[in-house]
Structure 1
Amino acid sequence: MTMPYSTTTLPGPARFLLLGDSHAGCVGKAARQAGLPFVGGPVGSGRDFLGPFLDDEGDGGPVFRDAAARRLVQGFLAELGVTGFAGLGVPLVCTFGLSAHSVATRQNWDVHRDRHGAVPERFLRSGLFADLVRASVRGALAFYERTADLGLRVLAPLPPQRVPGLSDPSVFFAAQDVVGAELAARGVEIVDLRERVTDGSGRQRSVFCEPDDTIHGNLAFGRLVVAELLDRAL
């Protein structure tokens, strides 16, 4: 299901293209509030960008399979004066593949639990686990392979460290590490705010959480992401 999206072009040339799932929303809101010109916003739900979501590619780079997402992305690129990713002249800030709570859905890992109902730590550190996670996010990895091939600068903010009840916390954190390493290997700059936004358990502190919501960060979290982007010369 496609999430609501927004596009913002403030006075002055856009500093970056923002694409992603609903986790991109607070980043866009914070950038808009800060007067930071950008183009883009959420173009779907987190699960939309885990499995394969790219169609046959043209010369301009990745083409989205879903018609609605494709129209949105093409519109964003047109605002930037290009027809495809190959011509993109600004950094891409992207959250594709970082929906760790979806990867960590409890029932998907039941077969690997021990007699106490836990997913063993040795399994979470195993090559098999890493292979399973990579398979779960293969669509996002294919996207970042193409952005790397095109020489684009890509920055990926880690999601809020929030684990809803339907997800397994141990799998969430372990899967997030696997995905982060895979993105970094493809030249993606990971924007990691965990030391600044989490408590002793590794969970997101309430001051950075959207109220009455189990997975999203709030505007304060978005502001930290934007501040980090500015520190990285966006």
Structure 2
Amino acid sequence: MTTPYSTTTGRARFLLLGDSHAGAVGRAARAAGLPFAGGPTGSGRDFLGPFFDPRGADDITFRDAEAERLYRGFLDTLGTRALGWLTVPLVCTFGLSVHTVATAANWSVHRDTEGAYTPGFLTSALFGDLVRATARGALAFYDRAAALGLRTLALLPPQRVPGMADPQVFFAAQDVLHEELRARGVETVDLRAHVTSADGLQRPAFCEPDDTIHGSLAFGRLVVAALLDRGV
């Protein structure tokens, strides 16, 4: 899922960086003829722990060679030499593959003998600290973007919880990350009210068929419409 989706017809409207969740957005933008640069640069788990280093005063370097190659290509498409020189909004999904954060096996230690969490655990300071520690690399990236003065829009993920993930942790961790992004001045694109059923899960019309994680092209179109509504 690391195929770049950059378009080059016309002046790019935004830089798209992220994991595989960026794929549906790139496809929808391309289908709509909306010029942009970027696309997926790796899988969700690649962007939770530390994944980049500062490069001078105005840029970053991805630690993974393929992600770095893709990133440099995206900057070339924009005619920009560094992230800090970006003149269009940054649209990003880093750190928001919440199903990975919510991997059930990682949270079993916090359940009691009957399999339940201690009352209040999922809203506790300890839980928040654990989520922030898990996604520390992504949060550091958003800190860097804020320090560079970029307009950054983060896309909340499709509301899909695969079998390996704990639904309670998914929704609670998403809330923690949402607040962390907002505290950093990141604009969040939150489509939950438009794409979910009463149970909080994504409706089939917005799910990629034969896939337990990703949003469909229809979901990507809603994201693109939300970006346009925000003047991107």
TM-score (norm 1): 0.97
Please give the per-residue CA displacement for 1:38-77, whole angstroms capped at 9, x wherever unaligned: 0100000000000000124223322211111011101101
Does 1:29 pair with 2:15?
no
| Counterpart pick for 1:196 among 182, 194, 197 | 194
1:71-150 to structure 2, matched below 5 A, reads: 71-150=69-148
Residue 63 of structure 2 corresponds to 65
1:11 CA drift (Å): 2.2
RMSD of the alignment, in Å?
1.0
Deviations 1:73-97 (A, max 9, x none): 0110111111110100100000000
1:166 to 164, 167, 176: 164
Q: Which moved more, 1:9-18 or 1:162-171?
A: 9-18
- Which amino acid in 2 is paired with 1:76? F
Query: What displacement does 1:118 show?
Result: 2.5
Alpha-carbon displacement from aligned partner over 1:92-137 (angstroms, at most 9, x marks no partner): 0000000100000001001101232133451000000000000000
Calculate percent identity across the aligned residue pairs: 68
Which segment drifts farther, 111-120 or 211-220?
A: 111-120
Name the aligned partner's letter for residue 216 of structure 1.
H
| Distance in 1, Cα, partners of 2:74 & 2:58 | 14
Cα distance between partner residues in 2 of 1:61 and 1:207: 39
Q: Could you list the per-position Cα deviations for residues 127-160 of structure 1 after superposition, in whole angstroms to 9, with x for gaps in the alignment? A: 0000000000000000000000000000011000
SS in 1 for 2:52: coil
Whole-angstrom distance in 2 between the partners of 1:181 and 1:62: 24
Query: In 2, distance between residues paired with 1:96 and 1:59?
Result: 21
Separation in 1, partners of 2:119, 2:156: 22
Matching of residue 157 in structure 1 with residue 155 in structure 2: yes
Measure, in 1, the Cα distance between the counterparts of 2:147 and 2:200.
34
**Aligned length, in residue pairs:** 232
AA matched with 1:58: G
* 1:9 Cα deviation after fit: 1.9
Amino acid at match of 2:76: A
1:12-45 Cα offsets, whole Å, 9 max, x none, are 1000000100000000000011110001000000
Q: TM-score, normalised by structure 2?
A: 0.97
For each residue in 1:144-199, what CA deviation from the matched residue of structure 2 results, as whole angstroms up to 9, or x when unmatched? 00000000000011000000000000000000010111111111100000000000
- For structure 1, the residue ranges without an aligned partner over 5 or more in a row are none
